[in-house]
Structure 1
Amino acid sequence: MTPRETVDLLQRLTPSRGPLPPQRWGFLPTEQFWRLAARTPIFFGLWFIAGFFYDWLCSFGLPWWQNGLGCLVFTAVWAGLVERWSRQYFIRRRMRALSSPECPFEEAPSELVPAQEPQRGLPIVATSEFWDYAYEKLFGRGKTVAYVVFNAMFFMVAFFPSWQVLVGSFLVMVAMSLGLGWWQRRLIRSQFEGAQAGPVLAGSSMPGLQSGDDR
Structure 2
Amino acid sequence: MKKSLRVTSQWLGGLALLLLVGTVSCQLNAQMGGTPTQADEQVFAQSGHYHDGQFVNGQPTQLMTGGTQLGAMRQLLFHRSPQVNPPGPLPMHSLDSLTLTRPTPGLAQVTWFGHSASLVELAGRRVLLDPVLSIKMGPIRGVAPVRYNPQVPITAEKLPFIDAVLISHDHYDHLDYQTIQTIKDKVGVFCVPLGVGAHFRRWGVADSHIREVSWGIRSSCRGYYSSASPRGTMPVGG
TM-score by length of 1: 0.22
Higher relative contact order (CA 8 A, sep 6+): 1
TM-score by length of 2: 0.20
